[in-house]
Amino acid sequence: MPELLIRNTTTPPITGRVHRGLKRSQREALAAYLFILPDALGLAIFVALPMLFSLSLGFFSVNGFGGFRFVGLANYQRMLIDPLFRQSLWVTFVYVLILVPALYVTGLGLALLVNQRMPFVGLFRSMFFVPNVVSLVVVALTWQVMLVDKVGFVNRLFEFFGLSGYSWLGDPNITLYSILFVTVWFLMGYYMIIFLSGLQEVPREYYDAARIDGAGPWATFTRITLPLLRPTSFFVLLVSLVSAVAGSQAFDLIYIMTRGGPANSTSLVIFYIYQQAFQFNNYGYAAAMASFLVLILLLVTFILFAVTKGGRFHFT
């Protein structure tokens, strides 16, 4: 990107506004490049470069002091036979498969609820959103105490209703779902806001017309609300999918609550990569796995775009 900037400032810009005088348009372009430069440079160095770097780093063995040694495909071969990597892929798959629909349903459900006219609706919206402003570290610590075996608040609550408690963070069959529950609790308010703004964009007349035609609430929802929410839905699916695969929320929760355990049942790819890099100093191997993850991310994004025919852009 920097090369691009330099080349463009020296050649006269090809625009249709030549009649205004080259000097002025050149000045405008120069000013624009200077305005963009700090951000462009920063994004190039701290986002684009690591991205490209991650693709090549996988072919090296990197020691803790920054020495590189070319090892060819060794890291990728190791990836194929590493059972822990394979398990982490499976865990990630289950995590994404549950999280994305769960966020869609809870976000849309809450938005429909607080889009109704009722007293204190503003307060309710804030209450649903408030978990999202607290840090994930605090969220993880709080839930960890509440989910403690036997005496934790959640198990006490179960006891109160005559139910038997569970080992929420100790049973390998349950722990991933506990993490998923906490993630949904943390994120649902955010998606509620996004769906709410989508709902408020739908013209009132559509609903009035539907009512006059005698459409029930279900027909109104499936024939008017859902189709008109397509752009919003696409945005929500894209953002939740990318952040689920990349473990944007999961990392903090897992680092504090489970460390990938018990029995690696919550070891998402993103956490396994982090462990390999920063606990075992296997930077090259970690980068190889990360580049595989990037590939998956590109693939799911592409599929989502293809399946929805560009989603939101379909309408505009």
Partner 1 sequence: MIEPTAQTHSVRPSRNIFRRLGPILLFCFTAVLAILTVCPLVWMICASLKPGDETFSANLLPQHWTLENFQYVFTASPFWRYMLNSFFIAGTITVVALWFHSMAGFALARLKFPGRELIFLIIFSTFLVSLPVIIVPLFILVRQMGMVNSYAGLIIPAIFNAFGIFLLRQFYIAVPQELQEAAIIDGAGYFRIYWSVMLPLSRPILAALAVFFFLANWNAFIWPLTITNDRSLWVVQIAIASFHQQYSSSWNYIMAGSAIVALPTLLLFFIFQRQLVESIKTSGLK
Identify whether the C-beta of residue 289 lies closer than 8 Å to the C-beta of residue 89. Answer: no
Please say which residue, 84 or 173, places its beta carbon nearer to partner 1. 84
Identify whether the C-beta of residue 104 lies closer than 8 Å to the C-beta of residue 112. Answer: no
Please say which residue, 173 or 208, places its beta carbon nearer to partner 1. 208
Site string for partner 1, 113-152 (x = CB under 8 A): xx-x-xxxx-xx-xxxxxx-xxxxxx--xxxxxx-x--xx
Site string for partner 1, 49-78 (x = CB under 8 A): xxx-xx--x----x---x------------
Residue 243, C-beta contacts closer than 8 angstroms, at least 6 positions apart: 249
Please say which residue, 149 or 172, places its beta carbon nearer to partner 1. 149
Residue type for position 248 = S
3 binds partner 1 (CB under 8 A): no
Query: From the CB of 252, what's the least distance to partner 1, in Å?
Result: 5
- According to CB under 8 A, which one of 301, 304, 305, 308 is a site residue for partner 1? 301
235 binds partner 1 (CB under 8 A): yes
173 binds partner 1 (CB under 8 A): no
Identify whether the C-beta of residue 182 lies closer than 8 Å to the C-beta of residue 132. Answer: no
- According to CB under 8 A, which one of 85, 246, 265, 311 is a site residue for partner 1? 246
- Mind spelling out the 3-state secondary structure of 150-216? CCCHHHHHHHHCCCCCCCCCCCCCCHHHHHHHHHHHHHHHHHHHHHHHHHHHCCHHHHHHHHHCCCC
213 binds partner 1 (CB under 8 A): no
Please say which residue, 157 or 173, places its beta carbon nearer to partner 1. 157
Measured between alpha carbons, how far is residue 217 from residues 109, 115, 182, 202 in Å? Answer: 14, 14, 31, 15
Query: From the CB of 250, what's the least distance to partner 1, in Å?
Result: 9
